[in-house]
Amino acid sequence: MRLIILDKYDDVSDFAARYLIKQLRAFGPGPNKFFTLGLPTGGTPLGMYRKLIEYYKAGKISFQYVRTFNMDEYVALPRDHPESYHSFMFNNFFRHIDIDPKNVHILDGNAEDLEKECQIYEEKIKEAGGIDLFFGGVGPDGHVAFNEPGSSLTSRTRLKTLAVETIEANARFFGNDISKVPTQALTVGVATIMDAREVVILINGSHKAFALHKAIEEGISHMWTLSAFQMHPKTMFIVDEDATMELKVKTVKYFKGLMTTHQKLIADV
């Protein structure tokens, strides 16, 4: 496990974008060799998406041979609703790069058979050869995607009823009207993400500091689903200074001491 501690959110976003570029170049994608990404929604990855768009426009990256799988989608929210995750991804990222829409996979929260939709999604991931690099954010309660506290760590893509805290947190995207926030979503499971060859988690802000503490300084628990990634062979947490406020001093000092080595992860980008 790597913990990358950077000064501020913009640094987290830029490091994540440059790391993706470095991994994509190393992979060497082509017409018969697609790089498969797992991508999150929410406020945290927006900075990374903005940076990737900038690097794309500067000619440093192409998404022509990239396929993507998104983490989640609300149930019963029209696909073209401005707060659907389909709209989120296209408005904030996909429309600004050269990815082929047929290589974009997003769960359909309006499918007639939601259980079948989840099964098909899992099958599509397998058919793609698995996910090479899965990016994720985290909620203050330690949930990844919509794997709320109490979710099974062996879970797969499924229908989830959202926790009250998550609904309240997402109300800001619906004019602070909690009655307009969907109460269910389709989400990839913890085990689905764990199957990825590499997982990168982005965390910013003091309000997520306790979740980071529970994730890396304490044991694995289904009440803090982020902690599951202690078991992944290649996990990296990229965080800002504020997110480390609940960590032990010696933990912070140890990982900061490795930053010279970590900077090599994005060298030449």
Where in the sequence numbering do the catalytic residues fall?
72, 141, 143, 148
Bridge partners of 4, per DSSP, are 238
Cβ neighbours for 157, distance < 8 A, ≥ 6 positions apart: 107, 118, 119, 121, 122, 186, 187, 188, 189, 192
Sheet containing strand 184-187, edge to edge, reads 72-74, 184-187, 158-161
Closest C-alpha to 87, from 99, 103, 74, 97: 74
Cβ neighbours for 212, distance < 8 A, ≥ 6 positions apart: 138, 203, 226, 237, 239, 243, 244, 246, 247
